[in-house]
Chains A and B, each alone.
Chain A
Amino acid sequence: MENKIDLSAIKSPADIKGMNIAELELLSEELRRALIDKLAAHGGHVGPNLGVVEATVALHYVFDAPKDEIVFDVSHQSYVHKMLTGRIGAFIDPARYDEVTGFTSPHESEYDLFEIGHTSTSIALATGLAKARDLNGGKQNVIAFIGDASLGGGMALEALNFAPTLGSNFILVVNDNQMSIAENHGALYEHLARLRDSNGEAPDNIFKALGYKYIYVKEGNDLSHLIKAFREVKDSDCAVVVHLNTMKGQGLPVAESNKEAFHFAGPEFCTDSRFEFYPCGQRQSDVDCRKPRCSL
């Protein structure tokens, strides 16, 4: 077993299929470290990507993209996906940081199915892919990966209503990090809280109401639990929701405790956790956006 994973050797998900759990955990650590280095220097969506390092590794470990089709909602959280699908150079070589966009892009890679930047479109896009698959007699998995915030969007709900009527394999991963850009608003979020608090057992389950099979993953940042859940739903014969409980900003203390400010942070943001951060939009300068904690 290697003590360190050579990230530059990751050319495609095939390169992680042979890893054991310890190696995958090491990989996740390395990916997270590289991500923090790039984002601290270059800026980008910080919290959303740090929160899905393990989930993305697990997705590509269990599923077989690009044959299996993954649609990332908004796709601002697809950095780790890009790192695993042939674009690692743009994340570990500062000279190449701008080689990738901030969202999925078919121009970059066959693993990216759509240009996306607005929320709540993934489920509808995925139903189109699934319908086409069914008409063609295909067997691939179609996965929509959507955050709790985007799930409340009108067209996400429209597609949430429609997908079970396909009567075929449809995998909806709900990445519940309990945040929008700022805090969540809506009865749906109180509902998701009840589901989390009850380890997925609360009555009046909205997903079951709509005919989905439902799995809750309390440890949404733990590879073993994620891999187990994804394996359970792979090649399903019906519509299924995998509800992940994740931590936005996982692994970067300032991001974990300043979730709104670190949704998106400009270049050269401060990672010193002695400071609190105002949410102040895309560019954060040391002068404008930090304030000392009371204890300092």
Chain B
Amino acid sequence: MAKTEPRTLSGFMELLPSEQILFNQMKEKIEEVYKRFGFLPLDTPIIELSEVLLAKAGGETEKQIYRFKKGDTDLSLRFDLTVPLAKYVAKNYGNLSFPFRRYQIGKVYRGERTQKGRYREFYQCDIDIIGDGELDLINDAELPSVIYMIFTNLGFSKFTIKINNRKILNGLFESIGQKEKSEDILRIIDKIDKIGKETVIEELEKINIEQEEINRIIEFISITGNNSEKIEKLKNLKIQNETFNKGIEELTYVFNNMKIFGIPEENIMIDLSIARGLDYYTGTVYETFLNDYRELRKCMFRRKI
């Protein structure tokens, strides 16, 4: 009898038992910390109606969606856990208590170009806090402390939680009269770690930003110093723009409260170049980076996570 070759699609992770044990241990550690902070569990379907999932999507996201028909129904696989959360909160608004704190750990699907280390099916471990009408800024300071506990429990100590505030960037663009191009500018400067300063300048020139304006953008994102010095230098730019100044105020408040939530200052870095690709962020933005991994070889990862 002819045999079918047992293959797994590229971009889909499949592990041997010992690796799976390790993977699950990491997943359990993350879940444990989410619960420790009182986040509620949520599990939404992997398949949703396309009209629901794609209510907002456009451009790049839409191209990556796994979309198909079953009978006459147009279906899609979820590509993140945020859109299903939005649907869920809107649908169950009357039955939820706000602020609604939920965690969700699940697989999402994106038909990206396959390359090494790029997955088409992957786990996201999300936490969100949703307010009804309003949500106090202090919440922005609590979330990084969850992340701090997770990476600490996973055995890292040298990692950096980078924070910034989109209002600062948007305010800067308003002040140089480039509000319309702010999305393009953000997208370009978001890549500075990957492509370097020179290429950022070239790309800004390509979208017809004046040299003087480019200088101000670069000058701004090159602000250096420790966290307090950066805040001081931002204030010293004396940019007369309401959004900009609101952004500084929020960033300062979040930064100060992150320390109260127990994150050591050495693990926090205000990084004015962090912009986050997605356009729906309006205030605080975060990224976390691992700094030095040699410690890991020595520590717990080897035995028990």
Physical interaction between A and B: no
